[in-house]
Homo-oligomer: A and B are copies of this chain.
Amino acid sequence: MKGYSDRLGEVQEYYFSKKLKEVQQLREAGKPIINMGIGSPDLPPDRRVTEALKRTADLPDAHGYQSYQGIPRLRKAMADFYARNYGVPLDPQSEILPLMGSKEGIMHVSMAFLNEGDEVLVPNPGYPTYTSVTRLLHAHPVYFDLLEGTQWEPDWEALENRDLSRVKLMWVNYPHMPTGAPGSKELFAKLLNFVRRNDILLVHDNPYSFILNEQPMSILELPEAKNHALELNSLSKTFNIPGWRVGMLAGRQDYLQAVLRVKSNMDSGMFLGIQEGAISALSLDKSWITSTNAIYKARKYLVLEMASMLGLQVAERGVGMFVWAKVPSGTKAIDLVDRLLYEKDIFITPGEIFGSGGAAYVRFSLCVDEQQIKEALNRLVKYD
């Protein structure tokens, strides 16, 4: 054979893919690893959600190929969820595209809008998949710094002084992963104004809006947003079903049609049982989210204690399912991570995997039960 594609040289195996294998190997070697590295909700979904899945699995005709756009009731449930929680009206026929997880949506959107050589604005720090997908398509990630001093807003001055003529897409994500910055309507307005002036399509990735966050927002709430922005959303974090792979893309019909054209040529619709479970999840009332958040809140309290014991500094206003913590000057975050892993059997994520802007930070996941966090705390007490 005549060799691999050049694009392979552009990406490494996804960080978590490699690192979790190492954590797994340590576990298999008998190490009592406490994994605070990945944001995979450990809490179960609501019973009504799994019951809907199971009920569907029992139907003889529930196992065939599904429509690329999902069943109409799923799109309707997604539209109702947007109307109820964000006050955003969406046409379930044309302004919602269900996805097998919002991660695949990053590829589909990129394939629908990017040519080789196009530039893409990617937040630093930010979710590494924006970069790797961009590179896989031989487009160029152009990083824009988020600044701790302004609650991780973009460095507007630097952004405005760039040549943006070749930039086609801009990725943003508030509540922001990994920093936990909540974002605001004012920030969304600034972002929309920026992309409108520069003829850029903004893609807002919004999976964290219901975790420890008082004011869930969609960028589509803002007037005219649909002309300049798409929004990815996900049921993974909100309803504790990351492994199910259910996400969605919301926005203007013509943009979504372009994405569907890509998607329908590379995958299929999702399992009907998962769609029915998703409908059930989207219909849960707010008390369900409130009770989940009560658990995250208790965990966060303990994680903040851990951070404090390690001499780390944490911003007050963080939301979402992570704690983002700055290491003291003189300490390298990556060394702290390795020390915790190899000496204390605790795995946390080094901030630098989210870009250079994260190099002085570490990220704790709240997807670990209280007992384990207490055990981690105990191990730190014995830290010398």
Q: List chain A positions with a Cβ less than 8 A from chain B.
A: 1-8, 11-14, 17, 20, 38, 40-45, 50, 53-54, 57-58, 60-68, 100-101, 103-104, 106-107, 111-116, 129, 132-133, 136, 138, 168, 195, 199-201, 228, 240-245, 257-258, 260-262, 264-274, 367
Q: B residues within 8 A CB of A43?
A: 60
Q: B residues within 8 A CB of A63?
A: 41, 44-45, 240-244
Q: B residues within 8 A CB of A367?
A: 64
B41 touches A64 (CB 8 A): yes
Complex Cα gap A68–B15 (Å): 12
A1 touches B242 (CB 8 A): no
B64 touches A243 (CB 8 A): yes
B242 touches A5 (CB 8 A): no
Copies in the complex: 2
Q: Which of B1, B168, B265 contacts A11 (CB 8 A)?
A: B265
B20 touches A44 (CB 8 A): no
B41 touches A266 (CB 8 A): no
Q: B residues within 8 A CB of A12?
A: 261
Task: Report the nearest B residue to A58, measured CB to CB.
Answer: B50
Q: Which of B40, B111, B228, B265 contacts A65 (CB 8 A)?
A: B40
Name the distance in Å between A254's Cβ and chain B's nearest Cβ: 9
Q: B residues within 8 A CB of A44?
A: 60-61, 63
Q: Which of B14, B20, B113, B201 contacts A265 (CB 8 A)?
A: B14
B258 touches A8 (CB 8 A): yes
B113 touches A116 (CB 8 A): no
Q: B residues within 8 A CB of A199?
A: 1-2
Q: Which of B7, B200, B270 contacts A2 (CB 8 A)?
A: B200
Name the distance in Å between A104's Cβ and chain B's nearest Cβ: 5
Q: B residues within 8 A CB of A8?
A: 112, 258, 261-262
